[in-house]
Amino acid sequence: MSSRDLLIEIGAEELPPKALNTLSTAFLAGVSAGLKKAGLSFSGIDRFASPRRLALRIYDLAESQPDRNIERKGPALKAAYDEDGCPTKAAQGFACSCGVDVDALQKQETDKGAWLVFCCEQKGQSTPSLIPAIINEALDKLPIPRRMRWGELETQFVRPVHWVVLLFGDTVIKAEILGIQTGRETFGHRFHHPQAISIPTPADYELLLESNGKVIADFDRRRQTVRAQVEKEALGLKGRAVINDDLLEEVTAMVEWPVAVAGNFESRFLGVPPEALITTMAANQKYFHLLDADGNLLPHFITISNIESRDVAKIREGNERVIRPRFADAEFFWNQDRKQRLDARLESLKSVVFQKQLGSLFDKTRRVIPLSAWIADAIGADKVAATRAAELCKCDLMTEMVGEFPGLQGIMGRYYAQHDHEPETVATALDDYYRPRFAGDILPPTATAQALAIADRIDTLLGIFAIGQIPTGDKDPYALRRAALGVLRILIEKKLNLDLRSLLETAAKHFSPQVQAPAAIDQVLTFILDRLQAYYQDKHIKPDVLEAVTRIRPTCPQDIDQRLLAVSRFRELPEAKSLAAANKRIGNILKKVTGKLPETIDASVLVEAEEKTLYDILTGLSREVHILLEDKRYEQALTLLAQLRDPVDRFFDKVMVMAEDEKLRNNRIALLNQLHSLFMQVADISRLQN
């Protein structure tokens, strides 16, 4: 079958930079899915994305669908004809739906019966007739939160559309896309080449745009160009450019012809905390900052211009002129904020509502203070430091700097606490307790920060659950899932022996009676433990191992982690499969017992050699296993219990558990119950899969 390349380009007003790459990827996925659904073969797709265009080049696209044999199954023969052999309404209706007379239908007999069927060969449609609908469907499915209309058109898109290129080989597919008639003319850079550029074939698109239009259409190549230019400029300034991936992607989405320009600012601004300057440069101006060999901020920046100017000095001066007042504002906030101690802002937290039913930030702080102290005591941290850190942890929210740059909360708390000569462990905790701020972020390094981080998150989790605002679906306005995962990470990875139920019960004491926090404890506990599945998925812990451990409902995450490692290693032992099956069998037997399970084993009642052997070995192991379990040496305990495989197998081969003699039966059930209970002190190994 013959094929040609297809070019699709949607030309629009400047597309939202933070969404451009996502839109481009989604457009590719939508068109690709549409082509496959239509049965149109192709060898590959390249995507292009710049501020003013979304484009795709599809390679070797078939010129039409393949012909297909269509077979539709109709009514059973017995229902298709009456006693006189005349077609029934069922047969007539089926024929009508197929667009033929009943006589054109065929009879098909199989082992399961006989039916009327309609068979025909369906000619494949031409690709040009299918492409517009595929494009429109892909555009309709783009992840655009708010679509807009423009002019008098009824069509909607993320930005007004000005041109659409739809080129199949050297032929334009005539259609209307987003209210625009398709053609072969694209447009280059808004300033360098605003004139139309005629595209002969899809193969000419990228080259013509770059050589004539001053547009690097390939997003990935443009991103590499930006990175290379920034690094080159930094080298000339004897510094190292810090290239944040998110900022790099956003800048790439803002330019079509990137040109790096270096600028400078007064050294006096380096007296302001560097995070404030960096935030101003990146968030407001989209500048890349530079560090020296020691990691100190340099008084330079690099911006990416979308114009190749003849007078670069003017672009540099313009950017320096813009950044100067922003830095002056940050300097002013820094100087003003330090005129008042951090703890003097505590009372002002009463004016900021945390949540209507849970009170102000002051109320939240008053709950977090005793909880932080309790946690600090439980994990061996300094209670005095934890109490002081909890008292100050929200105060920087009332500063001018954080009011202007909310992303600096915690960071500025540390600087202001250091200025007030607070203990260093307290000052650093004000910043570190926000960690982990995102997936993969480092954890609070000090015990004081860990205590505060756990307390703040647990207070939020319990409070929000208590007032009934439980996360549903994708809605999680208080980021409770992230908070729960943060608590788990700190407890597990910092090896803190802290029980979640005790933690929640302690937190509940500090809420007002109207909130009814104690009633939400079980819900919050389940919610936090449910996050273990996502956490351990990245740790390559198998689901059946996690189920085996969580089935017995341990509530100390660090203890859960130890059990998981032990069960994971036990799972690899040759005895594991047999013992897992035996425990499953024991569990099923014990479920059938009505009333209280017998617990006491009478050695004098043991009859069979196999049950005597099992009893002797179990009795001998129990004492040693209990000592190991008390020390939480779960792996050694399970390795020891693995010795039970052969006696357990022989027991089930030779001994009838549910004997008619009640005394004998109860004694054997007690033996199995004791065996089962011993394993259940580590995990429910019956949940392990083969």
Distance of CA 40 to the CA centre of its chain: 33
Q: What's the confidence (pLDDT) of residue 472? A: 85
Q: d(Cα 337, Cα 420) in Å, to the nearest integer?
A: 11
Query: At residue 573, what are phi and psi to the nearest 5 degrees?
Result: -70, 150
Cα–Cα distance for residue pair 588/572, rounded to 1 Å: 24
Q: What is the band of 531 on the pLDDT scale with cuts at 50, 70, 90? A: very high
Give me the pLDDT at residue 82, please.
80
Reading the block at residue 230, the tokens are 């920034």
In the 3-class helix/strand/coil scheme, how is 404-463 assigned residue by residue? HCHHHCCHHHHHHHHHCCCCHHHHHHHHHCCCCCCCCCCCCCCHHHHHHHHHHHHHHHHH
Are 107 and 116 contacting, i.e. CB atoms less than 8 angstroms apart? yes
Q: Which fold has domain 346-540?
A: Hypothetical protein af1432 (1.10.3210)
CA-nearest of 227, 321, 224 to 265 is 321
Amino acid, single-letter form, for residue 402: V
205 band by pLDDT with thresholds 50, 70 and 90: very high
pLDDT exceeds cutoff 70 at 426: yes
User: What Å distances lie between residue 297 and 293, 322, 446, CA to CA?
Assistant: 10, 19, 26
Hey, is 374 helix, strand or coil?
Answer: helix
Supply the DSSP symbol for 513.
Answer: G
- Domain spans, the chain: 3-65+126-211, 68-122, 219-337, 346-540, 567-687
> Cβ distance 160 to 118 under 8 Å?
no
Tens of pLDDT, residues 33-47: 999 999 999 999 999
Q: Where residue 690 falls among pLDDT bands split at 50, 70, 90? A: low
Q: How many CB atoms lie within 10 A of CB 674?
A: 18
Q: Taking the alpha carbons of 648, 650, 656, 662 in that order, is the dihedral positive or negative? A: negative
Direct distance between the N- and C-terminal alpha carbons of the chain, in angstroms, rounded to an integer? 49
Q: What is the pLDDT of residue 105?
A: 80
Query: Six-digit token pair at 628?
Result: 């190991």
Please give the residue that has the higher pLDDT: either 108 or 516: 516
Residue that is written with structure tokens 């996360």 in the block? 471
Query: 321 pLDDT exceeds 80?
Result: yes
> What is the arithmetic mean of pLDDT over 470-475?
85
Question: Token pair 């494949």 is at which residue?
Answer: 124
599 Cβ neighbours under 8 A, 6+ residues apart = 670, 673, 674
When pLDDT is averaged across residues 623-642 and rounded to a whole number, the result is 92
pLDDT tens digits, residue range 592-628? Answer: 887 788 778 888 888 889 889 988 998 888 889 999 9
At 154, is the pLDDT very low, low, confident or very high (cuts 50, 70, 90)? confident
Q: What pLDDT digit, counting tens, does each position of 557-600 carry?
A: 999 999 999 999 999 988 888 888 888 888 888 888 877 887 78
- The domain defined by 567-687 folds into Isoleucyl-tRNA Synthetase; Domain 1 (1.10.730)
Question: Would the pLDDT of 120 be above 80?
Answer: no
pLDDT tens digit sequence for 658-673: 888 888 888 888 888 8
The Cα-based distances of 579 to 619, 641, 685, 688 in angstroms read: 18, 9, 8, 10
Q: For 81-109, what is the mean pLDDT? A: 80
Of 279, 251, 281, 276, the residue nearest 265 (C-alpha): 281
**Residue 237 confidence (pLDDT):** 95
Which of 448-452, 533-537, 585-589 is predicted least confidently?
Answer: 585-589
Average pLDDT over residues 165-181: 96
Helices (H), 271-382: 274-279, 285, 312-337, 361-379
What would the pLDDT profile of 330-380 be if each residue is shown by its tens digit?
999 999 999 999 999 999 999 999 999 999 999 999 999 999 999 999 999
Percent of the chain with pLDDT over 90: 73
Tens of pLDDT, residue by residue over 277-297, are 999 999 999 999 999 999 999
